[in-house]
Structure 1
Amino acid sequence: MSATHSPAGAQTGFRVRGWHVLAGVSAFFALVIGVDAWFTVLALKTYPGQVSVTPYEDGLLYNKKIAQLEAQAKLGWRAAAEAQPGVVVLLVQDREGQPVAGLSVTGKLERPATEAGRRMLTFQRVAPGRYEATTGAIDGAWDLTADARDGQGRTFIAERRLTWR
């Protein structure tokens, strides 16, 4: 006959038993927990999550900026900036589209990705509502922050990205 039976007590090969399953599941979770712990340690060493050393003061400055923007919205002024060779042109208009004259305008140019090369600007009035500042020979993208104040103490801050080619 062709039936083959092993004698009693003889092993027929590997069999998965309960402790094998327990060891496999335990090893899997130990590996996952170990990798998670390793990534957590690496993340905390490279970036601890602290964005600012003065978070409270930064919050106060943020609230001040919000108040400035609300006052500026009530004022109704608008500004447009233009990059010309060696010059920044700032045009300021009121709510009705009329030029705003008699402003004292200062500003700064900064690179978008670095603080290197920051330039402070003093704008001169060349026509009603038109103010120009000399930049010198520059090229590429720059962020302009212009601060315009009138004789009554009202402030208008314009932020624009300008590109010289």
Structure 2
Amino acid sequence: MAVETKTSRGFTGWHMLGTMIAFFGTIIIANFTMAYFAAHSWSGLVVENSYVASQEFNEKAEAGKQQAALGWQVNAALDNGDFVYTITDKMGAPVRVNGGTVEFKHPVGDVHDTRAVLEVRGEGILGTSIDLADGSWIMEINADAGLNEPYRRISRVLVRNGKIH
């Protein structure tokens, strides 16, 4: 009696087709996934019209130079939701302020950007209650200090454990 053994047929064309479909299918799915998230996440738009923004740059730069020449000193403090901003002149005397705004922006994206109105809390002192998550923020202050333009200060701050560092 003869025993019939089945021999393996090896790597066939069907195996190659399956390997190619799996390989290129994975690449195509990854590309479509990345394209979807790119199209449905932050737009990357910083200004509506870059031409107009470029024309305003020189004016903003000149206003910044004039404000820097004032020699005013500023201090920002955050203590568990209580934000205080002080402005003093170059002699250390408080600068009279009539209010202002503060805006905290994330360096990338605008999902958690926070804006608040600053109220006068004393001579040269502005403040507000604000809830900020820990992380890196770009802080923009616009204070009404009786100048032609609001006194504007932009700085990068780190919030950790409810305090600015």
The normalised TM-score by structure 2 is 0.60
Is residue 99–residue 126 contact of structure 2 (8 Å, CA) maintained in 1?
A: no
Equivalence for 1:77: 72
Question: Partners of 1:164 and 1:127 in 2: how far apart?
Answer: 27
Q: After superposition, what is the alpha-carbon deviation per residue over 1:79-135, rounded to whole angstroms, capped at 9, x for unaligned?
A: 121222112221101121111123321121111222111111111222221211211
Change (3 A) 1:62 1:74: same
Correspondence 1:1-165 to 2 at 5 A: 54-136=49-131, 138-162=133-157, 163-165=159-161
Question: Partners of 1:127 and 1:114 in 2: how far apart?
Answer: 34
Question: Partners of 2:79 and 2:105 in 1: how far apart?
Answer: 16
Unaligned runs of 5+ in 1: 1-50
CA shift for structure 1 position 53: 7.9
Change (3 A) 1:69 1:114: same
RMSD over aligned CA atoms reads 2.3
The normalised TM-score by structure 1 is 0.60
Question: Partners of 1:112 and 1:159 in 2: how far apart?
Answer: 12
Partner secondary structure for residue 123 of structure 1: strand
Change (3 A) 1:102 1:58: closer
Unaligned runs of 5+ in 2: 1-45
Is residue 147–residue 155 contact of structure 1 (8 Å, CA) maintained in 2?
A: yes
Identity %: 22
Larger radius of gyration: 1
